[in-house]
Every structure is written in C-alpha cells, then in structure tokens.
Amino acid sequence: MRNALLILLLLGLAACTGEPVHQRQFLQFGTLIDISVSGVDARRAEAAFDAVEQLLAKRNRQWHAWEDGDLKRFNDALAAQPTEGVPVPPSLRRLIDDSKRYYRVSDGLFNPALGKLIAAWGFQGREQPDRALIERIRQDLPTMDDLRIEDNRAWSDNPFLQLDFGAIAKGLAVAQTGDLLLQHGIRHFIVNAGGDLLVRGRKSDDEPWVIGIENPFRGGALATLAMAGDGAVFTSGSYRRYYIDEQGRRRQHIIDPRTGEPATSIRSVTVLLDDPVAADAAATALMLTEPERLPEMLQRLAVREALVIAEDRQAWISPGWKDRLIWSDRIGPKPQPIGK
Ligand code: ADP
Ligand code: MG
C-alpha cells in the first residue's frame, strides 16, 4: 500500500532569522510526524518533544484499528454482542462521542462504524478485497447510530459494526500534541502529521508560519500559504493510500457509506478549521461530497477555508483562500469559487 508521507511541505524553516526554530521528526500513526517550535530555548523544546513522542506512541497503541490495543479489544468484545454490553475504555470515549457527532453533522458520509467493510476492502493490511464479505456487509451497512452508549457501556445493534478511527484519530492525536506543547510553555509551533497540520502563533515576530499544499497528481508544492492565525489544515486524498485490485482497478481507502464502495470522483480535499479533530473528519467527509453540495457541507462541518480537487482536475476553492494562496504549480482549469 502506497503512503505518500509529506502531503504538505513545510517551507521556509531553514531561512536565517533571529528566532531559532527547533524541530523533531519521528514515525508514528504510520506516518512522519514533524514538529517545529519557536520562541523557546532548545532545552524546553527537547523536553516537550520527548513528552510528545511518548504520548503519540501510547495513543497509536490504544487507537490502532487492527493491532492489539484498546480499540481492537473493544471491537472484538462488541462483535460478540453480549446482552450486558461492553465497558467503554476511557481512551476511546472522546473518539466515539466525536464520531457520533460528525456522523450526524456530515449526513452519514463520515462513518467510522465501517471498520469491518474497510478491512474487507483490503485497507487493514491485506490489500485485496474479500468480495463475499463485502457483499454481506453491504446488505446491512453499520452506522454510528447502531452503537448505543449508556452509563459508559456500549451495545452494537449491527453484527458488522467495527470501529475504525483512521479518519479522525490523527486529528485527536494532533490536538493532544498541541495541548501538550502549550503545557510545556510553547505557544508558537507547527505540528505536521504526514501533511495534516496544527499551526499556532508565528515563526518569529516578523514572520508568519508558511505552509505548502502538495500537488495531488504529481507531488511537489502546488501552493503556499502564510498562516494569518491559528488553525488546523488537514488533507484527505485518494492518492495517499490505495492498491490495484485483481481486475486492475485503482482502489483508494475512503469508502462511500451510500454504496459501500471506495470513492472515485475526488482527488484531494484540504481544509482549514479551528479544531484538528473536526478538520480530520471534515476532510474525509468532503472526499465524498458532490460539488453541488459543497457550500452546504462546508457550513455544516464549520470549515473556514477549503480547496477541493477532482480526479478530472476540476477544482473548487473558498473565497478566503482564493485571495491568499500563492500558486507555484497548476493542475487544470482555474479553480471555481465555492458559494457566494
Ligand atoms: P488519511 O489516512 O490520509 O489521513 P483520512 O483522514 O481521510 O485520510 O482517513 C481515511 C481512513 O478513514 C481510511 O484509511 C479508513 O481507515 C477510514 N475510512 C474510510 N472511509 C471512511 C468513511 N466514510 N468515514 C470514516 N472513516 C473512513
Ligand atoms: Mg480524516
């Protein structure tokens, strides 16, 4: 399974300025985590980086969709559908609550209850579809509403329900990383988790943080953006994780809950929101949104800015980014404005 690591390039960090930028890179959540901080000395930065590495290693174990940990054990217990329900591990509570919320807000497009179907398509390590299982699950597609929570216990009303937080866990990990950096007295930083970013403060007194958006067709920078303030910039794409199936079709990892099939029309979605958890969920839901429905969905998901690029190279852009993105490459026809 291919996984393009750096979706958004971090630009300008090497530029010589008064304020030093401290940086740490490590692998976690199946991707490269790259943290840059400024406004503090090296000792404080290194202590914070150590704490972040520890936290993310723990979260990855707890939230992994198919390796042993809190989520795998919870899914296995749920699948047995015990009448007394299954205790909800504290490490999963927020992911479950937020997933239920974004499931509703996205009108069902964001649906982390589809883990078993995602695995059947070959996106939990196998890389080939199990057609018979896919057909059985498609007869009765699970939803987040099939998961009932009462007094910290959970019941599943659908035997195929299995949680996969691949579209939201990185958002929460990034949010918790930002909180931890703040606790360490760091107020100026970029957390970059394989192209999903949380940006706070400034690079220096006279320089904003500058980020890049990758060209989803041929890599390299598509555009750069000087961040005007804090925010989470998240990207979902069909080019990041995919395989070629036995019929030679390209199958990417985002499943359309209306059909049970991998989505086919959108190449990439990049969004700016305040909250990284909401940004992660929104980017995934917008990968499944028809262009006519973009204005409504952006509003429902509280997206501040967005760039949507279709497989046929047509693109749509929100008014704020239309004025502020600096293009360094082009992909096709001029992006159309979203709404307004
Ligand atoms: P990335 O992994 O590139 O950050 P996303 O945030 O869009 O991309 O998450 C995609 C992952 O979410 C998939 O690999 C799968 O685990 C899971 N997933 C697939 N389809 C859906 C869906 N409709 N709703 C929620 N999660 C999904
Ligand atoms: Mg996502």
**Alpha-carbon dihedral of residues 322, 326, 330, 334, nearest 10 degrees?**
20
284 CA distance to ligand 2 middle (Å): 4
Ligand nearest to the Cα of 106, by number: 1
- Global pTM reads 0.94
Residue 10: predicted pLDDT: 45
Say yes or no: CB of residue 72 within 6 Å of ligand 1. no
Q: Is 300 left (phi over 0), alpha (psi -120 to 50) or beta?
A: alpha
- Tell the residue number behind the tokens 């992911």, with chain if given: 95
Ligand nearest to the Cα of 99, by number: 1
Say yes or no: CB of residue 123 within 6 Å of ligand 1. yes
Give the ranges where the chain is alpha helix by DSSP (H): 42-63, 70-79, 90-105, 115-121, 131-138, 169-183, 276-286, 294-300, 319-324
By alpha-carbon position, which residue is closest to atom 8 of ligand 1? 236
Decide if 195 contacts 235 (C-beta within 8 A).
Answer: yes
> Which of 284, 288, 301 is the best mutation target for the ligand 1 pocket, counting ligand atoms within 8 Å of the beta carbon and taking the most?
284
pLDDT digits (tens, 9 = 90+) for 127-169: 789 999 999 999 999 999 999 999 999 999 999 999 999 999 9
121 CA distance to ligand 2 middle (Å): 18
> Which of 254, 264, 286, 297 is the best mutation target for the ligand 1 pocket, counting ligand atoms within 8 Å of the beta carbon and taking the most?
254
> Which of 71, 164, 308 is the best mutation target for the ligand 1 pocket, counting ligand atoms within 8 Å of the beta carbon and taking the most?
164
> Which of 5, 134, 253, 280 is the best mutation target for the ligand 1 pocket, counting ligand atoms within 8 Å of the beta carbon and taking the most?
253
Ligand 1 atom at minimal distance to the Cα of residue 287: 7
pLDDT mean for each 10 residues of the chain (340 residues):
39 53 97 98 98 98 97 97 97 98 98 98 87 97 98 96 98 98 98 98 96 96 97 95 88 95 97 98 98 97 98 97 97 90
Say yes or no: CB of residue 280 within 6 Å of ligand 1. yes
Give Cα separations from 141 to 75, 115, 191, 256, 282 (angstroms). Answer: 16, 11, 35, 11, 21
Residue 206: predicted pLDDT: 93
* HSE-up of residue 27 (Cα within 13 Å, Cβ side): 4
Residue 271: predicted pLDDT: 98
Residue 6: predicted pLDDT: 39
Around ion ligand 2, residues with a beta carbon closer than 5 Å are: 167, 280, 283-284
Say yes or no: CB of residue 236 within 6 Å of ligand 1. yes
